[in-house]
Structure 1
Amino acid sequence: MAQHKGIGDIAPEAVMLAGAGRAILLQLANPAVGYGVARHSSFATDPLKRLHGTLSYIYALTNGTPQQRASVTAQVHKAHRPVTSQRAPDHPAYDAQDPTLQLWVAATLYDSAMLVHREVFGPLPPEDAEALYRDYGILGMALGMPATLWPATTADFADYWNRQVQQLSVDDTIRKVAGELLAARAAPWWIKMLMPVARFLTAGLLPASVRDMFGLAWSPARERALAVFFRAARILVNVLPKRIRHAPMHFYLKRIPG
């Protein structure tokens, strides 16, 4: 019997990074997350810090040692502790330790990963899809989300996802945070070289309604270019060796103690 694909098999694939910007902008489009990031992070001076933190978190939890998992989990909890504020006239209430926000963050990571996976590797058999979905719950539970909050099945998740996307909203403050992330003005030169592709993928993979909220341009020509990108990705994942396809994961894990 073939072994089911688990999160530890899928997360290391570098092509999954195509959905990273999508996941972060979807997180920001929940105002309670967006304002927490805007007021308690260093986006202006280090706009890619959240991306680096997210990738370290995913790689450690899915393929790291027990020590690495403990290290990143402790760092995330420490960083989240001060991210809290009551509702005010100029911002919504937010609390990074709110389980419903932890659920949303994990949901964006799962949904973005599955979107890219379907485009590159094709759909999973139903049993594999359910098993992999259950695996992804760990990304929320390590943040502090109760296991019972993760929707029980992929069908339950789809219902949850559709409801949440309809409630998303973006204002000038959140739009500015997203702009700083996508501009990456303070990033190293090699990251700046990759940012046009990152901006293109982020805009193309977002739900159209959310893309419009952020004011990101799109067109039929760009849609065709996105299809070409994924056709090329499908070829590359079959010819490139694992050491290249998994290089980003190894880069991040080397930076985590343990």
Structure 2
Amino acid sequence: MAAASGPPASGPAPRAEPAPPPVGGVLWSVAGDVRALLMLPAALTLQVAHPAVGAGVDEHSVFRTDPWGRGERSLRSVQLWVYGGEAAAEEGRRLRRLHRTIQGTDARGRRYHALTPAYYAWVHATGFPVYRHGLSYLARPLTQAQERQLYAEWFQVGRILGIRDRDMPPTIEEFWPYYRAVLRDELEATVVVRELVDPGAPVPPPDRGPLPLRRLLRLLWPVLLPRLARFRRFVTVGLMPPDAREAIGLAWSDRQEKRLRRFSLAVRTVVPLLPERLRYLPLAREARRRARLSAAARRAR
């Protein structure tokens, strides 16, 4: 007699990939705009003001020997989270693999690991207050509804990076007490912060692009670097939220604030007039093109 057969055994359903933020959302509109390039240094500096994160970057990053390559990779990673579609989740996994071996002891004598939830979540969390502050200068202040939406979308990006919901405040109301507590209890002018805002820090010339351009930049670098370094410090400190700037101990004068407001007026006047190929970064530009084609196809049905 044949044995009775039942339904085939089934294992757990495959886990769905975390979705990127929505097309047409607040983050979709701002992350690929060229003005995001001006906000990136403030976010990176706010990240490394945490002693554990600063120690990890100090001991394991190539930001001193390959600053241009590191900046390019960081920017591409952020763009993939927002505009990468199916590639977003893979980029999140790649970043976690990259950080698995990063560990050591910070300046306070505490052991750290790059994937410690509190440290990993802080690195991501910094993007929200920097976007919020930077947009108020370079574009326009967000409405309360837009702020709430931006935070929800940034929280969703955290899932792409493998940040568990319990490791980052789930709502904007819970974010601000968390943020202020980190500013009060953790942040300081780490070694890496001091280097990033030091106009005299050595920076090699770019090693990417056409050979004639690279040769010209090497020739002019002694003249260009001091100006570039002063501008980098200006936008890094100026576009950092004032409470974070104060917590780290970065000086900012009324005169600098007036210069920042003049500069920001020029930026928010000129950038909206630029053609799309100049206003948006490559991955954002391509994503916008695909979105238009998809919308046109739906209308044609």
* TM norm structure 2: 0.71
Q: Which sections of structure 2, spanning at least 5 residues, go unmatched?
A: 1-22, 207-216, 288-301
Structure 2 residue 113 is matched with structure 1 residue 98 = no
Shift of the alpha carbon at 1:173? 3.2
Among 160, 166, 173, the alignment partner of 2:184 is 166
d(CA) in 2 for partners of 1:59, 1:187: 24
| Mean CA deviation greater in 130-139 or 219-228 | 130-139
d(CA) in 2 for partners of 1:127, 1:212: 27
Structure 2 residue 56 is matched with structure 1 residue 56 = no
| Identical-residue share of aligned pairs (%) | 28
In structure 1, the residue matched to 2:234 is 200
Shift of the alpha carbon at 1:50? 4.2
Say what the alpha-carbon RMSD is for the aligned residues. 3.2
Assess if the C-alpha contact under 8 Å between 1:27 and 1:34 holds in 2. yes
Assess if the C-alpha contact under 8 Å between 1:43 and 1:181 holds in 2. no
In structure 1, the residue matched to 2:266 is 232
Among 123, 130, 135, the alignment partner of 2:141 is 123
The structure with higher relative contact order (CA 8 Å, sep 6+) is 1
- Higher helix proportion (structure 1 or 2): 1
Structure 2 residue 102 is matched with structure 1 residue 77 = no
Give the structure with higher Rg (CA).
2
d(CA) in 2 for partners of 1:158, 1:213: 15
Q: Name the SS of the counterpart of 1:94 in structure 2.
A: strand
Assess if the C-alpha contact under 8 Å between 2:272 and 2:279 holds in 1. no
Aligned ranges 1:1-258 → 2 under 5 Å: 5-67=25-87, 69-85=88-104, 87=105, 91-170=109-188, 173-175=191-193, 177-178=195-196, 183=201, 185-188=203-206, 189=217, 192=225, 194-207=228-241, 211=245, 216-247=250-281, 249=283
How many residue pairs were aligned?
Answer: 249
Q: Deviations over 1:23-49 (max 9, x none)?
A: 111111100100011111123312344
Shift of the alpha carbon at 1:248? 5.7
Q: Name the SS of the counterpart of 2:35 in structure 1.
A: helix
d(CA) in 2 for partners of 1:111, 1:45: 29
Q: Which sections of structure 1, spanning at least 5 residues, go unmatched?
A: 254-258
- The change in CA–CA distance for 1:214 and 1:186 in structure 2 (over 3 A counts) is farther
Q: Deviations over 1:187-222 (max 9, x none)?
A: 414995644322211121235565467675532221
d(CA) in 1 for partners of 2:48, 2:286: 23
